[in-house]
Structure 1
Amino acid sequence: MNAHVPTGNPARPTTAIDQPDFVTLRPATGDEHLLRLYCMPPAGMNAAYFQAFTPYLPTTISVHALQLPGRGRATGTPVHTDPHRLGQLLAERIRQDDDGHPYAVFGHSVGALIAHETVTSLTRQGHRPPTLLALSAMAAPHHPDFTARAPDVLLGGREGIEKLFGRLPDHAAHDPRALINTWIPKLADLLLALQSPPHQGPPLDTQLALYGGEDDPVISPDALAGWNDITSRPATPRLFPGNHTYPLDNVQALSSRLTADIVTSLRGWYVQPTAPAHTRGSVHEPVIQGPVSNVTRTR
């Protein structure tokens, strides 16, 4: 059983445009708010990547997506390539946001490596872990699959980049500066991935969820399952139709699976939010309404 007593929600400092931050895609909804979901996007993408998922996630979940420098409104600002430092910064952000509610972390592709490093940093800092760490389309740092395929991406020019990260915007083909601005965060995130260290220390004590594409040319199911080596609560990979960029082709199904895994991770949670005095300190079943059973496209 997990337990946590809220320590207050201190004022959060304003973050400069050249610093990583979480953008709130859907805020908490007062007394109905149950869980914070932190989402880490794939290489080169910004927080808006996860906007399509919010209509399919329960309203009891507030959604916060990572915005890194070098993309979106911060195009042209220096990018991050140090996974350890980035994990520390994001862990501190999550600690600042802590209001006693449970939280979960979800990362796709390079975002999965960022999610892992963030949760590892939180653990090192002595902070309670998330109830769920959901990792998508990425090999564990100690698995050889990603680095074995990296040279094809690095030396393959635009074709190599698109094989891993999806098609570049059409306007980039006609504007060299736009192409450079599009490539820089993708290449930076690839460098960040290549520098992600293997997990050190005891296994993470948090529920794991693993997702991937059935036809992913980069990350095999075996590589995805490698994450089970670093947790005391392993998971069976769930595969969806598609390749490395499968999430946006399976928004509803992936959201449903994620909701179901969040619900499972909350069982036994010791609920102690700002509830009436006579209800505080009691154990509640998580009240999350959502399409948790509609996962017909997973296997």
Structure 2
Amino acid sequence: MSRKKLFCFPYAGGSAMIYHRWQAAAGNIELIPVELAGRGRRINEPLYKDVHALVADMYRCVTAQVQDDEFAFFGHSMGSMIAYELTLALRRNGERLPIHNFFSGRAAPHMPCEQSNLHLLPDDAFKEALLQLGGTPAQFFEYPELMETFYPLLRNDFMLAQTAFSERPIEALDTDITVFFGSDEDFSDEAMMGWRKHTDKCCSLHVLRGDHFFLHHQMPRMLHIIRQTLQQTQMDFEPALTAYPDVSVVR
């Protein structure tokens, strides 16, 4: 059997490039950083109008690259939304499902978004909000030519990320899930532990040191957990072993 594939979806404003460092440490996993429209090699493609267009694009991307392969999804922040919505879309259409979902830096889907209007802020307030989130160096905002491209992209990504998920019935996934959070992120226990409601199988929770962008400096630890998890994943779990979520916290 071929190596397991891990499709990696970026956070708002990010591109496939954020996962390039991961590839060298992926071991026996075939890491597939997924590029979204409007950035990287797809920079000339129009931005997504809504979440449905985004998921449809990712649907085409994934189904074209998996035949009999076992695969999993990883997403950070907005990328978690993409992985979650894409898994539901695959299930609705009777497609092969990921053997595992890894969600990172995102509250449970049924929780309300605390910053639902971030993309509507005027430029100065939007800039301050981005600086508070971290991940974007202050020096970056000193280049107007970058801002001319980066602001519309970020605003569109936040619109997508903040208008999905909540205000709808919970649809539990048919996959085991692993969820990562940074120890300094501003999430309630309910927002983190609520992920248990979104799978009929097992749920593991790992809290790693860092802020919202902990994935950059916790890459070795995260990949260790991901590799170990995928090595243990089997397609023929006994129902009795997966009926009840098993949540563990690692600091």
- For the residue of structure 1 that corresponds to 2:203, the secondary structure is coil
Q: Any idea what the Cα deviations from partners look like across 1:13-48, whole Å, max 9, x if unmatched?
A: xxxxxxxxxxxxxxxxxx7x3211100011111101
Residue of structure 2 in register with 1:280 after alignment: none
Q: How does 1:58-97 map to 2 (within 5 A)?
A: 58=27, 60-75=28-43, 77-97=45-65
Letter in 1 for 2:13: G
Contact persistence 2:131–2:138 (CA under 8 A): no
Q: Which among 161, 173, 182 is matched to residue 213 of structure 1?
A: 182
Q: Matches of 1:221 and 1:208 in 2, distance apart?
A: 17
- Measured on the aligned residues, the alpha-carbon RMSD in Å equals 2.4
Corresponding residue of 1:46: 15
2:10 is aligned with what amino acid? P
- 1:124-203 matched pairs, under 5 angstroms: 124-144=92-112, 147-151=113-117, 155=121, 156-164=125-133, 166-168=135-137, 170=139, 172-198=140-166, 202-203=171-172
Contact 1:132 1:262 in 2 (8 A): yes
CA distance in 1, matches of 2:236, 2:30: 20
Match for 2:224 among 253, 256, 263?
Answer: 256
Consecutive unaligned residues of structure 2, counting only runs of 5 or more, are 238-248
Give the drift of 1:61.
1.6
AA partner of residue 22 (structure 2): F
- Amino acid in the other structure paired with 2:56: Q
SS for the counterpart of 2:106 is coil
**Corresponding residue of 2:244:** none
- Are residues 253 and 164 of structure 1, via their aligned partners in 2, closer, same or farther at CA, if it must alter by over 3 Å? same
What secondary structure is seen at the aligned counterpart in 2 of 1:93?
Answer: helix
The AA in structure 2 aligned to 1:206 is T
Structure 1 gap segments, 5+ residues each? 1-30, 270-296
User: Contact 1:70/1:184 (CA < 8 Å) preserved in 2?
Assistant: no
Deviations 1:180-226 (A, max 9, x none): 31222221111001221446575211011100100013x34431322
For the 8 Å contact 1:75–1:181, the answer to whether it is kept is no
Return the offset for 1:260: 1.6
Task: Report deviation, 1:77.
Answer: 3.9
Task: Give CA-to-partner distance per residue, 1:37-64, whole Å, 9 cap, x none.
Answer: 1000111111010111122222x32111
Deviations 1:130-179 (A, max 9, x none): 110000010123202xx223446754321201322522473x43321211
Cα distance between partner residues in 1 of 2:163 and 2:53? 11
Q: Distance in 2 between matches of 1:209 and 1:94?
A: 20
Q: Which amino acid aligns with 1:254?
A: M
Q: Distance in 2 between matches of 1:161 and 1:97?
A: 34
TM-score, normalised relative to structure 1: 0.72
For residues 2-41 of structure 1, what are the structure 2 equivalents within 5 Å? Answer: 33-41=2-10
Contact 1:44 1:186 in 2 (8 A): yes
Amino-acid identity (%): 25
Report the alpha carbon displacement of residue 66 of structure 1 after superposing the two structures with TM: 1.4
Secondary structure of 1:97's match?
coil
TM-score norm. by structure 2 comes to 0.84
Counterpart residue type for residue 38 of structure 1: F
How far is the alpha carbon of 1:268 from its aligned partner? 4.2
Dislocated runs of 4+, deviation >6 Å:
none
**For 2:173, what is the secondary structure of its paired residue?**
coil
1:134 aligned counterpart, secondary structure: strand
Change in 2 beyond 3 A, CA 1:152/1:126: closer
